[in-house]
Amino acid sequence: EPEVTQTPSHQVTQMGQEVILRCVPISNHLYFYWYRQILGQKVEFLVSFYNNEISEKSEIFDDQFSVERPDGSNFTLKIRSTKLEDSAMYFCASSAQGANTGELFFGEGSRLTVL
Amino acid sequence: GDSVTQMEGPVTLSEEAFLTINCTYTATGYPSLFWYVQYPGEGLQLLLKATKADDKGSNKGFEATYRKETTSFHLEKGSVQVSDSAVYFCALEGAGGTSYGKLTFGQGTILTVHP
Find chain A residues with C-beta within 8 A of B32's C-beta. 99-100
**pLDDT, tens only, A33-84:** 999 999 888 999 999 998 899 999 999 999 999 999 988 789 999 999 999 9
Given pLDDT bands bounded at 50, 70 and 90, which one contains residue A101? low
Statement: residue A98 has pLDDT above 90 = no
Q: Does the beta-carbon distance from A106 to B49 stay under 8 Å? A: no
Nearest beta carbon to residue A98 from set B46, B89, B100: B100
Residue in A35, A56, A100 nearest the CB of B32: A100
The tens place of each residue's pLDDT in chain B, 115 residues long, gives 889 999 878 999 999 999 999 999 999 888 999 999 999 888 899 999 998 999 999 999 999 999 999 999 999 999 999 999 999 999 998 876 556 788 999 999 999 999 9
Query: Which residues of chain A make contact with B106, given a CB cutoff of 8 A?
Result: 42
Residue of A nearest to B39 (CA): A108
Facing B101 at nearest CB: one of A4, A43, A48: A48
How would you write chain B as a 3-class SS string? CCEEEECCCCEEEECCCCEEECEEEECCCCCEEEEEEECCCCCEEEEEEECCCCCEEEECCEEEECECCCCECCEEECCCCHHHCEEEEEEEECCCCCCCCCEEECCCEEEEEEC
pLDDT at A80: 96
| Residue A82 DSSP SS3 | coil
Q: Is A56 on the interface with B (CB under 8 A)?
A: yes
Q: What is the CA radius of gyration of chain B?
A: 14
Pairing of strands B3-6, A88-95: unpaired
Q: Is A16 on the interface with B (CB under 8 A)?
A: no
Q: Per-residue pLDDT tens for A13-24? A: 999 999 999 999
> How close is the nearest chain A Cα to the Cα of B81, in Å?
23
Judged by CB atoms within 8 Å, which residues 54-73 of B form the interface with A?
none
